[in-house]
Amino acid sequence: MIYLLLKYIHIIGAAVLLGTGAGIAFFMLMAHFSRSAPVIAGVARIVVIADFVFTASAVVVQPVTGVALAWLAGYSLAEGWIALSIALYLLAGAFWLPVVWMQMRIRDIAQAAVAANQPLPPIYHRFFWWWFAFGFPAFGAVMTIIWLMIAKPQIF
Amino acid at 50: A
What's the pTM value of the predicted model, to 2 decimals? 0.91
pLDDT tens-digit profile of 17-32? 999 999 999 999 999 9
Q: What is the phi-psi region of residue 125: left when phi exceeds 0, alpha when psi lies from -120 to 50, beta otherwise?
A: alpha
The Cα–Cα gap between 82 and 108 comes to 39
Backbone angles phi, psi at 121, to 5 degrees: -75, 165
User: Residue 155 pLDDT more than 90?
Assistant: no
Name the percent of the chain in helix, strand, coil, to the closest 5. 85, 0, 15
Domain ranges of the chain: 2-151
Residue 58 corresponds to which amino acid?
A
The string of pLDDT tens digits covering residues 75-112 is 999 999 999 999 999 999 999 999 999 999 999 999 99
